[in-house]
Amino acid sequence: MRISIIVAMDENGGIGFENHLPWHLPEDLKRFNRLTMGHHLILGRKTYQSIGRVLPGRRMIVMTRNPDTQYAGVDVVPSLEAAINLAESRGDDEVFIGGGSEVYRSVLPITDRIYLTRVHAQTQADVFFPEFDPSEWIEISSEQLGADEKNQYPTTYTILERVCAKHVRG
């Protein structure tokens, strides 16, 4: 099973501000929906709460250390390993990691692909994507979109693949 991160970040690596996205980009949301549809989507508790609902057409898995947490229509697990094992046991061929920062940091060493939206702006952010070594990744596609009346910033959609499978899943 492929483990994929899906993330939008600004030029400084910012991914969120006060538990929300710091931009309005409907085209990026359409891309997110298209890519994750029919797959498992793993999120941290805060990220799930910022979305506030189950996204149709996906199996949502929320990671939290609190064993009493429950959300209707969502699988709640205590760890990344449990989340990935659950998606794999259900036969998913690609699982998507949708944040937040701590979840990205923990999954980055075992990630196979990154679906990156680079927002060409410096926004106000209080949550950042973890640093990663670009030499471990190869760009397999890239598409640029300009800003318009609906999308406030220009963006570049890039797909990165890990150069070599150095990681081992347990």
Q: Is residue 157 part of a domain?
A: yes
Prediction pTM value: 0.94
The answer on pLDDT for 101 being more than 80 is yes
Give the pLDDT confidence score for residue 35 in this predicted structure.
98
Q: Is residue 24 part of a domain?
A: yes
pLDDT in tens, 119-144: 999 999 999 999 999 999 999 999 99
Distance, CA of 152 to CA of 145 (rounded, Å): 11
Which domain does 141 fall in, by range? 2-162
Q: Is residue 170 part of a domain?
A: no
CATH number assigned to the domain comprising residue 123: 3.40.430.10
**Sequence-ordered strand ranges (E) for 11-154:** 14-16, 40-44, 59-63, 75-77, 94-97, 113-119, 127-128, 137-145
Q: Is residue 168 part of a domain?
A: no
Q: Which residue has the higher pLDDT, 11 or 170?
A: 11
pLDDT in tens, 45-68: 999 999 999 999 999 999 999 989
Counting the structural domains of the chain, the total is: 1
